[in-house]
Amino acid sequence: MFQRALICTDFTDGMYRLAQFVPALAAGGLKSFMFFHNVPMETEREIPRVDPHQLDEPRQTLTNLLREVPDGVEVTVEVQMGRASDNILRLAKQFRADIIFLGTPTRTLLEEKLFGSTTVRITEKTDIPVLILRPQLMSTYTTAELELRCKYIFRYLLVPYDGSRGGQRLIERIQQRVTDNPDSVLERVRLVWVINDGLRQELMGEEAAIQQAEEQLDLLQSRLADLNLVVSTDVAAGDPLEKILKMAETHDISAIATCSGGGGFLKWSAPSLTKEILRRSWHPVLFFPS
């Protein structure tokens, strides 16, 4: 699905380990990599102070991890000072990245308000898809486990869908990625429609709502099957976040794909299923900005 990856690490998130697995990531369809580390700029009496020597050690650490780079694969290392989100956004454009890898811990809304989130700032300001991985897992995978994770990260996507414009946009983005990339490794898609008990239309009833959802998913299944994808569908009633996370666990998916609905969906005052998936899923999350 993707070819040019900007992989970001602060050396506490386990993401730097991916530099050891370029061959496995290349087997997952990627052909060009930039590994990036951001050094916070020191201040002295409120005047920013740049220390170039602070850039040398992390650059050398990442370079040393790059063991075997397959023929035809491009890898660069970049270390800069400044605000992480600003540097990531600028480098993503310069590098022409079509996917950004970020290590983001699970957080509550309160924790994001108190400590901020580089991921939130990036997803609100870029149109480049973002793959979110959990540092707790990245740091504890064995070498063999991480190699398999890298190889199959884009093979099997769980796609929440509810008929909304955001859901339609997500399907369109996935179709576009597969169509535009002849080397796409995406093999399977699981479409999941969860009918929210709290929002279900009383006059329609559960059976009618389920039937309507199944009919729409059948149409989507045919569209995606035309791309030589194996497509499964599930319709359930209940809490959407709970059902989606449980299905991701049950069906052994590679990542949960999700998309913003537009209009600054990550604002604190706007409830959002996508926002909760980004915060709470232990599975990798492939996020498509609007």
Over the stretch 69-125, which tens digit does the pLDDT of each residue have? Answer: 999 999 999 999 998 999 999 999 999 999 999 998 755 544 444 344 788 788 889
Count the residues in the chain: 290
Q: Pick the residue with more confidence: 104 or 41?
A: 104
Query: pLDDT digits over 131-161, tens only?
Result: 999 998 999 999 999 999 999 999 999 999 9
Residue 180 to residues 103, 136, 141, 172, Cα–Cα distance (Å): 27, 34, 32, 12
What number is the average pLDDT over the span 256-278?
Answer: 65
Residue 47: is it exposed, middle or buried by C-beta count within 10 angstroms (0-12/13-18/19+)?
exposed
What number is the average pLDDT over the span 201-213?
Answer: 74
Q: What is the pLDDT of residue 166?
A: 86
Distance between alpha carbon 49 and the CA centroid of its chain, in Å? 34
Cα separation, 103 vs 8, whole angstroms: 8
Cα separation, 205 vs 262, whole angstroms: 29
pTM of the model: 0.88
Cα separation, 179 vs 224, whole angstroms: 11
The hierarchical CATH code for the domain 155-276 is: 3.40.50.620
Q: Pick the residue with more confidence: 46 or 18?
A: 18
Q: Which residue blocks in the chain are alpha helix, DSSP H?
A: 22-27, 53-65, 84-95, 109-115, 118-125, 135-138, 143-152, 165-180, 206-225, 240-250, 273-280
Enumerate the CATH 3.40.50.620 domain ranges in the chain, comma separated.
1-153, 155-276
Residue 194 pLDDT > 80, yes or no?
yes
Q: What is the pLDDT of residue 45?
A: 52
Encoded tokens for 170:
């997500």
Place 43 in a pLDDT band, splitting at 50, 70 and 90: low
Angle, helices 273-280/240-250, rounded to nearest 10 degrees: 50
Place 197 in a pLDDT band, splitting at 50, 70 and 90: low
Query: pLDDT digits over 239-254, tens only?
Result: 999 999 999 999 989 9
The CATH number of domain 1-153 is 3.40.50.2300: no
Q: What residues contact 40, with CB distance under 8 A and at least 6 apart? A: 81, 82, 84
Cα separation, 77 vs 7, whole angstroms: 10
Distance between alpha carbon 64 and the CA centroid of its chain, in Å? 26
